[in-house]
Amino acid sequence: MSEKKENEDLHYDTYLRLDSFLECQIPQSLKLGGQLVHDEHLFITTHQAFELWFKQILVEIDSVREMFHHEFEVVESKMLYIVRRLGRVAAIFKLIIEQFHILETMTPIDYMDFRYYLKPASGFQSLQFRCLENKLGVVEDLRRYKDAYKDEFIDEKSKTILAESINSPSLADLVEKWLENIPVLNDHGFDILQSYKNAFLKWTKDTILDPAMNERDAKRKEKMMTEYNKQADIIDVMFEDVDKKTEHRRMSSKALTGALMISLYREEPRFNQPFQMLTLLKEVDSLMAKWRDTHVSMVHRMIGQKPGVGYCSSGYLYLRSTCSDNYAIFPDLINMPTYLMPRVYYPQLPETLKQKLAFAHNSQT
């Protein structure tokens, strides 16, 4: 009865809590300086819009992480949702990157008029941004200011939320574990990795070594031989396990082999959705990098090389350093084209394996 009454009373404003939501833009220039600086409203609105979208991205990433916490086949049966939600995350990133243009309608001098009222607040203290980095899989040891960023969160609630984001498995961890468990790996007497290495060496022989043998120009021949030896090393090194996560290598050899298998045989029905998932993971990673790049370019034009008002960092130079591979989430997946080759060289899948990949397993049906 009371529930019905509540629904009847529901109004657009109350459902969206607009009364409180639209009261949250409080310019510091008015509060501290006594005079409103017009562009401060835009500055606040833009940041709040970003934070709201960060929240939505976190909702999507948390739900995807939750789905990955299950057995291989269960995750496989949820792949459609994983793909759709990652697609949504990519769409949000594209939108928020565009949002920077609106803030850029403010000139550096307009910004100077209220910047010092913001002291000592900084985007460096954005808890949601840190959670996003951690939940996607930014590696703690590869961060700059890896301790200082945590010190910005003083109250117990923020500390707990941040610690949870650091200590729970990231999306990158979960994807790695899933890829390691692809049931068809080394199945049916087919060793994909060894077969792929052999095929890759045959391809480099056909396209680099054999032409080098017929090359008359000694200098060119030498360069081709160097390239041939380099390619042979690449394929060995790429699939060695790493002891420590680096800017270029994070995944285990087994997981990387799983990703390679999905990429090569993506036309097999059971690999269709996983292939889309891998594509979206790379896209989200690239979009996060693009966010950083767009932000730092705007910061450079807005404040030059001044430090942030909170003295959290050196400002531009620090932000530029975060646009590096150290902050990448899936460098192994992004690097994969380094050792791809034309389809005609792909090892043939045994017929029994093809059959296994023909039927999408769905534990719920």
Q: Which residues bind ligand HEM (CB under 6 A)?
A: 46-47, 50, 103, 111, 122-124, 126, 129, 295, 299, 302-303, 307-308, 310, 312-313, 315, 318-319, 322
Comparing CB distances to ligand HEM, the nearer of 90 and 132 is 132
Comparing CB distances to ligand HEM, the nearer of 65 and 143 is 143
Comparing CB distances to ligand HEM, the nearer of 56 and 229 is 56
Instruction: Kindly state the smallest distance separating residue 214's Cβ from ligand HEM, in Å.
Output: 52
Instruction: Kindly state the smallest distance separating residue 64's Cβ from ligand HEM, in Å.
Output: 21
Instruction: Kindly state the smallest distance separating residue 48's Cβ from ligand HEM, in Å.
Output: 9
Residue pair 347/192 in contact (Cβ under 8 Å)? The answer is yes
Instruction: Kindly state the smallest distance separating residue 342's Cβ from ligand HEM, in Å.
Output: 39
Tokens of 230: 């380099």
Comparing CB distances to ligand HEM, the nearer of 102 and 213 is 102
Amino acid at 201: L
d(CA 323, CA 331): 13
Q: HSE on the CB side for 247, CA within 13 Å?
A: 9
Residue pair 86/277 in contact (Cβ under 8 Å)? The answer is yes
d(CA 355, CA 358): 5
Comparing CB distances to ligand HEM, the nearer of 278 and 302 is 302
d(CA 237, CA 355): 32
Q: Residue 133: name the closest of 118, 150, 121 by CA.
A: 150
Q: Residue 178: name the closest of 281, 58, 57, 60 by CA.
A: 281
Q: CA of 195: how far to CAs of 117, 176, 198, 239, 261, in Å? A: 63, 22, 5, 13, 11
Instruction: Kindly state the smallest distance separating residue 28's Cβ from ligand HEM, in Å.
Output: 14
Instruction: Kindly state the smallest distance separating residue 242's Cβ from ligand HEM, in Å.
Output: 25
Comparing CB distances to ligand HEM, the nearer of 27 and 315 is 315
Instruction: Kindly state the smallest distance separating residue 315's Cβ from ligand HEM, in Å.
Output: 4
Comparing CB distances to ligand HEM, the nearer of 123 and 347 is 123
Q: Residue 245: name the closest of 192, 179, 173 by CA.
A: 173
Comparing CB distances to ligand HEM, the nearer of 168 and 321 is 321
> How far, rounded to the nearest angstrom, does the alpha carbon of residue 302 sit from its chain's CA centroid?
26
Instruction: Kindly state the smallest distance separating residue 328's Cβ from ligand HEM, in Å.
Output: 13
d(CA 284, CA 105): 27
Q: Residue 205: name the closest of 248, 235, 166, 239 by CA.
A: 235
Instruction: Kindly state the smallest distance separating residue 318's Cβ from ligand HEM, in Å.
Output: 6
The torsion angles phi and psi of 255, rounded to 5 degrees, stand at -65, -40
Residue pair 152/312 in contact (Cβ under 8 Å)? The answer is yes
Tokens of 345: 């060289």
Comparing CB distances to ligand HEM, the nearer of 69 and 159 is 159
